[in-house]
Structure 1
């Protein structure tokens, strides 16, 4: 161990004697933390008002006057030292550790304990030293007059107050409180000072007569007592030597500016190298070093003031002392102020007029403040472990990397932001301090900056604690989850599973009080709700609960309940729980879904009525000592409930339900219902009168398709899909396009998300919920299934597990697992889908509605909808065209049959025309819809036969209005190139290959991958090889190997592997100097899949590229080590390729002549296979 550790070891003997607060052995609830924080603050405030016993005088000049507010100290009280000892010791130890004078490994628990002990010991020594210095300096009177006893007593008081501050700070930081005690005391002291100067009732004689010190009090006093109101206002706003209203307004303005700047940050995305899907962000705030620059600058200035004052008192005639600063006593405050020298130059001008009168002083002060804060900020990140180097090291230790950047470039990328944020943030803090001082803000600019930043930090702490509390309570978890999914769904979809299960473990008075509370909550929540359906049943149930509430409130104070009564009340708890859930279900579900479930819901209400009848039959009313009035109400409730023995189904609701089914049957027969009937049903009866409400209904019904476990339930998934198609048709037929607000949501969604990130206070990593991750692949489950042991896995992973010969459960280890018994976990699949959509997570499961059997009714309704959409594509307004193109895009995405139907209906010519639109939104939706249609084989010929359509798609690739449109156009070309006859025709379009090459270099990551796929599709035609090489296609793919995005690099390696299968392609790749280097770099830093593709491509290069290429590959540095490493740690395919590659290289080196003779193909081609799988995405 180094010498730094030996220094810390010197602290070890003292640890047993240092005061210590034990860490919390449990998670302290949020309310308790608030209580501890309030108590700590109360103790500090009391100590700040307790006068020191034994002092003679405190009327002299205060050398620490300039730092009192910031150091949370109060002259003449036991809190004279304030937080000075603990702050000073903390800064000293941080500087020593950061500059490596003492070595501390924060990952070692003993080192952390020793460092904390050293900081505490140093703080105690500083408290003793300062207490002695205060007494000996004569701050409390001459030492001779104090006497030895009083002097020792004062020192002990100051010492024990310092110990109290240290303990209070430790108490809050060890989990019992919120935030830091130091920050709490500073903010409180500063706010107290500001409030006092605003509302102080004390009077001071300033030569103009006695005036109130408080600015607000003085304003009202002058307005009341002076006859000249204008003069009174002028004096209140601009009076000198006392706080005025202008100072108060300046303080408020600075507060608002600082709060505004707190939200500025750059968010760098990060993800885990080990666990797929684990991702988050690292925020770099504008105020990266928080308030440390201003604290360090204030400490420097304060110490200079202190030294200058002490020297000036004793050596006022000395030239160098006067150069440091000359001082005189203020006429009003009694404190010494600098009037010349360096101390004067670094003191803020009193006002803008003072600044104009002394420009050099103002300029020197501004330059000093900005420079000092910038330098202190940059220095602090180096010594505090928050520099780019330290952050990169921490991220690497946590196995986190930045997407799109190689691990070796992590520090370089962070260096682009962190030093700049530190320096610029320091300058901003200095500038705000200068502005506050010039404007005369109350409490000084330094104090305001500290107060606002600390209060903001406490706000963040409160938000995080509240979020943690929410997660710990089951009932609130559901609310939080619903809030998360609110961006995706208008309303949550209730599950009736909860209607059947709940437990209660209460008895006696707590049980009665709980029943009363639940009843009151139900009544307050649902009494004023306008139920669309089940109106009579809902009102009847609420009235029953109102009567029960009267009963519960009457007996809530009576604890004498017999066992029968307790049992009945427990059953009533279950009754109330089910009632609340059912009422919530009816209030929150969609109108169409409630209509379809009308009979089932009526049956649930009937079951609850039977339950209340049974409970009132058994309830021992005589033993409850009820009043006559209460008893009469309960008996009446019993009688009325007993009469309602038959199931009530609202006749009007049933007529509407049958009407809805008649629309479905009409479409089933190919008969489109009359628009008047549809309008009467949807708009007049159901009051679905705007596109947003209609979309909400569609989304809710689609969610029910996902939630269906099988098609045995009524209505079946296929029927629901038909109702969705009918509702979509009615939306466009009846409600039109002009008021469709979804477009603006889509357009602004990305901007809104960026704003939310910029304002977000959370700066911790966001990981996948563990229940969403497959325990085999450690990645997000796309198709979760349940095996016979009850465990859930991703289907592809568990099938592969069984195919490899395993017969045990991967998680539990249970043997003889039935591999044939795999059941889809649709509930989890739905939850994952919703979570991915809410979080904008790309790697989400495919939506289930696409897999539902498409009935004739749904197809006929879709055909009618497409007809309306095409009419608006042809002659609608620009907004109508946007909506129509977007809807066709979505329809073609989900179900293949719909894509064929849309193509046959004639949408392609109109989409082709819109590809040339100057509206970026229209173009993007049109080209994306074209791409989704091209996935269907039947539509590819229609697209290729459309006159100039192919050329228009290439034009979008070359000069699309958005990068998304360019990428989707490239994806369309790839989809078309899957037909062999079209490959040559696509390549012959002017600028096609050149545009794809350009997009692969300059597009977004997804667009780059689509461009590479298209180049791959074109290359696979033998006649296109030379054209690809001459147009720069191969060079573009090679250039993509150096892309910052790993996915693009990996895709480029795949495409190069296919290109290298041809001798012409392999020779072309071999001539590029960067090709082999890029593949070697991918083998070094890529993902397992990327390394596998890289070695496979190198293998094909050597097979088909000739001796020159083999020699170039063999000479590549570190190739042998990387290949050997792949043999040991790579995937199975990577190991096979690496083994073949090494064998090939050795054989090539041994027999170069054979390679030149052309026999290489016969020698090696049979050893190699390169399966390629490039998915076609739908958008």
Structure 2
């Protein structure tokens, strides 16, 4: 008990010390949070006295201290929130923040009120100090200082304006000063904090983030326009003050070119120096996203999607575009951080090849549909030619761009994009990048709505990606199976084969088998088995063999009256088809229901032949079936003999009939 008491009190001291170490608070909550922190620091003396005391603490007081610890932890989180969180968020959501503040202070006051101070072995002045804290909490209950109305109104007016609406320069100046967002470091920290706070809020992170992020962007643009050299390296600040036109760099009329949004990191809102792609397909400045991940986040800051992995892939295409834009605007391209690791495969390609690929990718971002269509087609052909091209195209950052084009309304561009992804997926290392770029929903959409060629290539892409076991689960959950079954029914011969191979591969995962049966695949497979000149018998039997192991599959195959066809394939099919048909029968005949029908159709002679002339798998399946059928036939014979014997006994024991009595007389 003494050890438990010591641990509890020490934990209380630790929490208060952590609270004491929290830095300055945002102007939106400064006074309330400073008062709360100051009051809690006054409790340290009581905790230290209790720790040193040899007297036993009453049980009721122990319970009160446990409640106090829980309230202190909540207070610490609240205070950290007010110190490191987004200043913009704290102003606009002040009412919600104050509601949490009142809830925490009420819990602290309630826990302190339950402590039996008269039974504690602490100095009287310490008791008086704690009583003072308790009185201050009671007086402060429900009371807060008036917010900075001008600051709130300024932020709200900017928050509610459309993205392209001109903002009042005086408003922006006041906001930058009051929120202390006059430097790049402060702006970057604010952006990081905004991402974190919005992602952990209980509201609508997407809508909130977009509007607050745009608001912060306007403030940052204003700050950088007012101070053009704010984020320039020292070596740039020492450049001669005159430009080639004779104007000074500090000329008030000189307009700094507006950085395109696509070139800005969504976190820092700065021009990206080393853009990298995360598993959701979004691009960030390497330093910012690394910091985000180091803080323990497992989500994409912009989309809030869970990151499937922490891999960061250099976006070479975007880097090239940024360099091109800087050159066109007379700005020195951003210097790459020395810690940035070059891709291992870069040296394998000539500058000409890399330049050609980057030019193609640059045009993919064009707003001209014709350019997109042509360049997607070029990338499709390049990716088809050889493994080196596939590696170079993926390394250049093409995959996320192609994924975006999957949803384009132009059917030909859509077809090029999905086929390019198919060709890229041949390279094993690209499969993970395609999945992590969020390609599967787009591929499924093409499979549902695209042209026949696009649908066929979408099916082939899903097959290629599903070679990786974990991808089978994701693809099956994406809704891909029903459109694959549809393609299996209505596609060209090539489309049917692509759909069949994809379905077979997906059904290796047990969880996809039921989905495939429920999508109506069994009637389609039965039709393919009897389709004259269809050429799909091999694929149909292979899928039936894998589905028969699932209860729903077994039931559906039995209900489709498949037995005569299966027996015929065991007797007359190719070695592979004989083995698959036997595998289906092994599952169907697990009970007595179908054994009699199979035996009546003459399957036993076929099975004897298969055990001698089939493939290894066919021989095993045939042997299993023969054993099962032999046991069934023997049981049936025994039952028949027993029945005959009972009938004979019954006849011997029956009483004489009237006719017999007449004869006797």
Alignment TM class, shorter chain as reference: 0.3 to 0.5
TM-score, structure 2 as length reference: 0.46
TM-score, structure 1 as length reference: 0.29
